[in-house]
Amino acid sequence: MRSSGTEAHSSRASGPAAPNPRTTRRTALLLAVTLFSTLLVGLYYSSTWTSLRDFADSMDTGDALFADFTHHFHPTAARFFSAHRPVQGYYYSAFFALLLSPLGALPLDEASPLWGGAQILFTAFLLLAPLRYLVLRSRLYGLAYYLMVITSMPVLHSFRWGQVSVLVAALAISSFRLYSQGRRGTSALLLALAAAIKYYPAAFAVYYLYRRDRKALRAFLVLLAAFLALPAAFVGPEGLFVLEREAIGSVLYSPWVSEEVGSMHLPHFARRLLSLPNSPLLHVAFAALGLVAAVAIVLTLIRRGERWGAVFPERFLCCLFLCLPLVVKTCWQHYFAFLPFCQVIAWLRLRRSRGRPGWMVPCGYFLTAASVLLSSVFLFNLIGSWWSYSAMGCLLLADIILLPVILL
C-alpha cells in the first residue's frame, strides 16, 4: 500500500501529462488541410480575377473598389465637423461618421488603403469571433467555418463595397458568445457598438428580454444612448439632430431601393418577382407581413426551445440573423455575411439531434448544404453574372432554407 501511494504521488509530481500523439497528429493534419485549402482558394481567386478592378467589376455593377467608402463614408466623415450633414445615400449613424472622421481628414487616395486594411481586420474578427466555441466541439466545425467564410459571396461582396456588414456580424456574434460565458457587461457593450453603427442590431437585445436579464438590457440601453449622443459633444445637439434625421430619412424615404436587383429584402424581392406595382400601400402591407412573420418565427423558436430549457444564445442569434431579410428594408447582399456562422450552427444542431423523425435530419443536412452552395463564390462565378445571381435571389434562398433547420 505504501509503495502504490508513493508511485501515485510521484506520478502527480512529475508535471503535466505528455501530449497524446494521436491528438497531435490530428491537429497537425488539420493545420495542413487548412493551409492547403487556403492555397487552393488563393489560386482559384488569382485565376478568376486578374486584378482588384476585375474583382470589383465582376462582383457588382461597375464602380470603384470600396465604392461605399468612396462615395458615402469618406465624404460624410470629411464634412462631419463643418457641414453637419451626411451625403446622399449615407444610411448610418452620426456616431459612425465620428468614428471615421480621422480617415475623413485624409485625402481619399490615402484613406482608401487604410480602409482596405480595416476590411481585412473585420474579416479576421468574423473568423475568430466563434472559432473557440466551434473548435471546442470539434476541430472540423472550426475548419468548415473557416472555409465557408473565405469562400462566402456576401463576405467578398462586403469587401468589394468597403462595407461594415462583416464588422456588424462579428460584433453581434462576439456579444452573444460573451453572454453565454457570463460576461454580460461586455456583451452589452459590443451589441451597443454594433447598433450604434448600423441601427438594426438593436433588435438583437430582445434576447436580454427573453432571458429577463434587466442588468444586461439596462447596460445595453445606457451604452447605446451614450454612443449615439457622443457626436453632440463635437457638433452640438442641433448638428447631431440634423445628421440623424438625414440618415434615417434616407432609409425611410428611398423607394428606388425596391427596384434594385441587389435588394434582398423579401417584400422587395417578392414584388419584383410578381411584377407588382411600386405603390406605397403595397410596401406597407408587405413590410407588416414581414414583421409579423419574423415575430412568429422568434416565438416559435422560444416555444420549441423551452422544451429543453433556455434557447442557447448561438441558436437565438442565428434566428435573429435569418429574419433580417423579412424586416430590414436596405438588406443588400453583403448583409448576409452572417450566413457562414448560421450554416455551421445548423450543422452542429443536426449532429446533436435526438428523438427526431428519421427524415428530418437528412433533410436538414440537404438544406444546410444547399445554403452553403447558394451563398458560395463558386456558384456565383458559375452563374457568371452578378445581375443574374441577384435576380435569382440566391442569398435570400440560402437564408430562408436555413430557418427550418435552426427551428428543428
Model pLDDT for residues 7-51, shown as the tens digit of each residue: 344 444 444 555 667 777 777 888 888 899 999 999 999 999 999
pLDDT > 90 fraction of the chain, expressed in percent and rounded: 53
What pLDDT is attached to residue 310? 52
Classify residue 311 by its DSSP letter.
P
Q: Which residues contact 32 (CB under 8 A, 6 or more apart)?
A: none
> Over 80: is that where the pLDDT of 208 sits?
yes
Q: How far is CA 65 from CA 68, 100, 105, 117, 119, in A?
A: 9, 18, 20, 13, 12
The count of C-alpha atoms lying within 13 angstroms of the C-alpha of 74, restricted to the half-sphere facing its C-beta, is: 21
What pLDDT is attached to residue 285? 83
Average pLDDT of span 383-396: 93
What pLDDT is attached to residue 27? 76
Which has more confidence, 306 or 361?
361
Q: For 199-312, where are the alpha helices, taking DSSP H only?
A: 206-210, 214-229, 232-252, 266-273, 280-305
Average pLDDT, the chain: 87
Structural domain boundaries in the chain = 67-407
What pLDDT is attached to residue 62? 67
What pLDDT is attached to residue 357? 64
Handedness of CA 275, 279, 285, 289 (dihedral sign): positive
pTM (2 d.p.): 0.89
Average pLDDT of span 326-351: 91
Q: For 105-180, where are the alpha helices, taking DSSP H only?
A: 108-128, 131-137, 139-150, 153-161, 165-180
Can you tell me the distance from the alpha carbon of 358 to that of 137, in angstroms, rounded to the nearest whole number?
24
Element (H, E) at 22: helix 21-48
Q: How far is CA 365 from the centre of its chain?
A: 22
Measuring CA to CA, which residue among 118, 121, 123, 115 is closest to residue 64? Answer: 115
Which has more confidence, 59 or 252?
59
Q: How far is CA 27 from CA 36, 362, 377, in A?
A: 14, 29, 28
Confidence tier at 202 by pLDDT (50, 70, 90): very high
What pLDDT is attached to residue 306? 60
Classify residue 71 by its DSSP letter.
I
What pLDDT is attached to residue 281? 79
